[in-house]
Each structure stands twice: as structure tokens, then as C-alpha cells.
Chains A and B, each alone.
Chain A
């Protein structure tokens, strides 16, 4: 049987190489189908990896709590309009919820920032020191401000990469420099490492961090002391996130004295929720991709079936001779199936190469990130093999059922 298969494969290769153009054209459908899939999958995976990196740039297992909207005389403000969340909420959450490894808070306002003769309009964030840990911010140079700075409402600032580029000359040293925010002088103590785009597409590096206390007392001039723009929390395990969210909801509802029929006056979102929105987009892409792949593999398969039917007719006499010298039906069947599979598998392999080249070109020309995975290559090969088997079956069966006498007489 091994000898039979081996020789049959050799025969199939010879038969196909005799008609290179025909074999090539027949394979084209499979080549295009598999090539498109490999290229698209690697683009899709590249995009997904980029999104995952963005989501991860938020920090690890982050929970964001935003204040709800206000309604004044029937006019509703947007999300975050209300000032329902406070520093007290954050402290209480940390005390009552053992699942939370840390809580932090921030309040932001867009302001004019001045350094010498340069100025820049950017978001100024008053934060608790824990905010930086939760969001996994690291430093290019310098370091974070301390709890003492926080308590003393020190005029120290941390600046992001975009802010740095806009406020400072490349040759200028930022650490130790004095910048002015709303005419209040601040000393730069740290330059943050770049984080890139957020999952929502905003530039996370266009930022200035100052201690929360300094912000509310000396810069923002808040009406209600202790009210924050958003609360942040994190858990040790990502599996704890759903439970932690429920816990936070309970604690905050109690603290805000909400009755059972009242809606939350805050919104809780986790990193997982934000990731899911992006996943949804790439899922749509995957479905589209699958549809394209199915159609081209179907067309490719029909091409193989067609050419095999021609081949069976052309080689009727040969089939008759093979039967006369003792080929059983299964032998003839196997021979034509192997030819079909050889065609489709070759097409698949060429398709994989075309796909990889296509993905590389996409990266080179359009600059999109692409990831070529072994999984997609293996499944493309298995799929093209299956297409060969499926569409080869009818012609092969037709050949195997020929009557040897008629086949021998066929002109």
C-alpha cells in the first residue's frame, strides 16, 4: 500500500507537470482564496495585537468609575457632569473592598501651560500618587511625586512625551525646569514614558500630572473640595473584576444614599469592557473574511472538479488498461483523489506564500502591523486538502465506476 501511494503521488505529479499551464490555472482559485485569507488574517491579527496593546496601556485590571450626569431644570448634562464622586469614596472603597488592590482618583482640566517663550494647551490632571501605579505609568527620567508632596500641595509636575515635545526644545533639560500652569509656577520632577494612543484613539502622552491637592487648591479653584473627575481602582486578578465591580456599586450606592428604585449616579467600566468593543470590530472582520475565503475556495474546488472530469475523459483508455491489469475500484478512486489533493494542496501552499508576501507588502507599504501565525498556515493547508478531497470525490468515483470493456474501447 505504501508503494502504491508513493507511486501514485509520483504519477500525479508527472501528470500535472505535463500540463503545467492547466494545472496552474486550476490551482489559481485556491491560490487566491488561501492567499487572501492568510494576508487578511495576519492583518487582522496585527490589528488585534495593536488594540490589545492599547487596552493594556491603560494599566493592569483597571476599573474606571465616572460620575453620572446632572439634570438641572430638565436639562441633562453629559456623562461626568455631576460631581458625585469624592476623595472620600475612594478612601472608603479601599477600606471596604478587599478585592481592590489600590484606588486612586483624578480630575482634569484643559489649561494653558507656559515654559519660557513656548506655550501649549493641554489637559492638566490632578491625581493621587496611586493613580500612576494603577495606570502602570513609568518614567523616562525623574520620578513620581510623593505622599508628602500631596499632603503639602507641592507645586511639582510630571509631563508626558507630547507635552515635553511642545514645551521644551530637544536640547533643553526638562527635569528641574519651571513651567507655569495658569500662572502658577511648577517644577518638573518627572518625564513620563510614552504610552501611545488610547483604545479610544486619543493621545495619552499629551498630559501633565500634578498632585490632586495642589490642583484643587491652587489651579482649578474647585467649588466642592474633594470632588473628583473619575475614580480608578485595580484588582490583583483579572478574574476578580466582575465581582469587584459589583462590590464597588454596592459601596457607592450606600455612600450616596441611593434608594433601590434610583439609578446609579455613576458609571463603572473595566478594561475588559473597553477591550470587548474592539474585539467586536475584529469579529465582524473575521466573519467577512470567512465569507470571502469560502467563496474563493468553493470556486477553486469547482475548478479542480472540472479539470478532473476532463482528465477522466481524456484518460478513459488508460483507466481501462489499469482495470484490465487488475486495478480495483479503490485503486482508481485513490489515484484521482490523490491528483485532486495534489492540485489543491499545491495551490494551498502557493497561496500561503502569496499571503505571506502580501502581508509583508502591506506592512512595508501601508505600515499596518501584521502577524503571520502558524495556526492560520496549518489550517489553510488542511482546508485546501479538504477542498481537494471533497471536489475530487465525484470525478474519482466516476473514473472508478467505468466499465473496463467500454473504457478500453474508448476512442
Chain B
């Protein structure tokens, strides 16, 4: 048989046979210079030049410094047939996996004269293996990720990573049951062809393992890409069952659409938004309920979606859904825990207030009675010795000091007195206006300018008018007292979420973190003649109204007290 071919084709027969092989063949001399190759090898390595005459290392572009992993060097030193696997980037930027088998050929003196090297392209098998192991690892990492946004972004990164699922773009949609819609949550992928080619040439040159990918996922988690932005604007009603994405949610089955634009069975709103003819939608199913959809396509290289991609994506989506359910459960737990913590803090605070209050009330009353006697007799003395200068002066001091003590006691008793509430529907702006008016002369004498910025559109709310006025008075007085050299007080009202927010901003001394920490502790004061109950009382009143107080303070610049009162007061 061979002799027939030999007869027909002459010397060319060797070339003919070797070129027909699917394997690259090369012959090296003992200096590792290539002296012959078949035609398959340059094709396999995408060479644009004739490799004959070059060194083996130049052509294979592999790193043969490590002689233990180089089949050629091994074969040369051991004199035995050796094989290894290498990874290289071809001239055109494609990553390839090659298995090399090198066999030494000996001359008459039994010395190695040549090396025959057979190169097999194992890229496809290798990529498949790597892909699956990468997906598995990815899924493992995702299981441990409890932050939902990060998790979803990781998932989309995996769908688009060349070495994983390798789609051009991936979008994630989530179902909102209350609104009965499915809306765009996030997207990963280039926004244009130019960007796509730039990214591909960048990633083709670096080895992408799991850590690289996760790193990239964390780093690129900026949400301002055009693709992400347009995706965020998408929303489809779950009643539009002829939209592909909706039917994906309803049927809980993957949909591979290869010809969307000319498919007259479907509505085109979603298709037009995605903007490609071929794409795949995979539902994320948790406990028999589709919570979202991953939509992936090859918008830029326009490669058809392969069977393998479809299969891998469907397996992957199951893992994503599980991880999502995990993270969601964790989030709910965390929220509940947070609520518990807050309730506990509130309880502890009111408990502490109650104890302090009772104690304060007891002490205050015990002291008040003797004070009445002391002060009363001092007054009698003062009157009886009106013409005795010294006695009069000294008894005057006693009565003044007694009056001061009585005033402090009155303050404390107000604090410890159980508060009776009378709640009515009022416009906070009016109350603020009223309080500012009341404080007007005082503020003017302290050289404080008042700037009122009331939002006229804030709704009326149900509060105890007297108590709330007390809070406003306290805060305005505090602000004024922090501006010893005069300054500006800004009173501002606005709506924020479900709350009416009132800001009191001063240009005073500001507070240090230590002071801030103790601010609401009863009887804590930094003022020479303060009793330290003003803010504690204010806090208690706001607490009773289911609101909260926040403070922002910069030393030497000023302080803002913000009161938030719920618009829908549940206990009203």
C-alpha cells in the first residue's frame, strides 16, 4: 500500500502524510533548532512565519526555563520519550493548551542527534475541565457570600467570564411581587463593541483563575456602566405573559431564543430592550418560586449560544438561586436582630430613665420642704433687719441661693413627673413659628440671627403640642447657649421618607465625641447652671412619639439636631 503511494507521489509522500495528521510535528536538532515542521504545526500555533531555523522556545512561546516541565529538555537529558502539557498565548492572542510528546532519535554512535516533537491541541478538553471546576468553585464562593449585591454581581461576572461561561453580556432581573413586575437589578459586560474588544484583548493576556475573577468582580463593582444603567431602567409587568422574560418567570423554565426579532409568537418590548436576536433567559428558582431571571447574550462577537453554555448556565442558575435564598434569609435575620437590638436599647434607656426619675423625684421632694423653711425664715430675717446692712446682705444671699435651688428642683420634678399626653393633629410649621416667636426677644438679646426654612408642603401630624413645644424650646435654647458670641440659628422642616424632619443648626462651639456620647444621659451637663435634664426630657418626648433624634456636630463649627417624627403615628 505504502509503496503504491510512494510510486504515485514520489518523495512528497512524507509531507503528504504528515500534513494530513491532526497533530503538529517538528524535528529539532540537538541545539533545539527547528529543522523541519509539518503544515499542521504553524496552523495550530497561528504562526505567521516559517518556524524552520528558529529555536524551539521562540516558536512555542512557552516558558522552558523550568526544565522539569519541558518535554524537549527532559527527553534530551533522559534520552527517553517524554510528554508534557503547556499553556500558551498564540500570536493572534488566543489561549491554547498543547500536549507535547518528544522522542529522541539516536545516530549510529548512539548519541542523540534529533528530537521529534508531536504537538496535540487539547484546548477544548482542557477548557471544558477548567470551566466546570471554575463554576464549581464559583458556586462554593457564592454559597459563602451573604451580601446580596455582591453575590449577584459575582454570579453575573461568572456568566460573562471568558474562562467560565463566556457570554458577552449578562443581566439580572428580580421579581417584585408587590408591584407585580420584574425589574432590572444589575448588569455585567461591555457596553459597546469597542469596549468589548478592549476588554477581551486585556483579559486574553492574563491567566484568569478563580481569585482573579473574584478580584475583578469586587473591583469592577462600580454600577455606573452604561449597560448597568440601561438595565436598571427596565421593568416589565408580570401580566404581559407574551414577553419572553415574563413567560420565563411564569413557566420557571429556561428559554433559548435564537430568532427573537422575527418570532411573531412573542411581544417585543423586552426583545427591543435587550437589542439582540439571540439570547437566553434562565429563571432563578427558590422553593418552587421564580425570584428572578438571568438573561445572557453574545451581543458583540455574535457567536451562537452553544449547547454547552446552555447546559452550564442552567446548572449555574440553580446554584445562584440557592445562594440568593441563603443570603436573603441571612439579611432577614440580620434585620430582625437589628430591630431586637434597638428595642432592647430603648427598653434599657426607658428603664434607666424611670429609675433615675423616681430617685430624682424622691430626693427633690425631700429637699424642697426644708428649703421652704430655710428660705422662708431668711426672708423674715431680711425683713426684720432691713436697716442692718450686713445681716440684710447675708440673708439676701441665702434667699437667692434657696431660690436657685428651688428652680433646679422644679426642673427635675418636671422631668420625673409622669407625662400626661394630649395628642392633636397639628401643622408642625405653625408650632415652630410660634416657638421661634416666643424665643425671639431672647435670641435677639443673644445676638443670634434666626433663619427659618419651613417646607409648606409637610403634612399635619398627630403630636402632643405642649410637649413638642417643650422639645423645640429646649433645642433652641441649647443652640443659643452654644453660641456665646452670637451666631446664626437655622430651623428647617422637611419631609423625609415616612417622617417629618426638623433640623436645628447652630454655628456654635460644636461638641466633642465624649460629650455627644453622654448628651442624652439625664443630669449630664456641660453648662455652669444647667441641670442636664433638657435633652433627656426631649429625647423621652420624641421616643414617646415614636420618633428619633440625631445629632451631627463638628467642634468649632456647630451642631445640627435633627428630629424625625413619623407621619403615620401608630400609637396616635
Q: Do A and B bind each other?
A: no
* Residues on A facing B (Cβ under 8 Å): none
* Residues on B facing A (Cβ under 8 Å): none
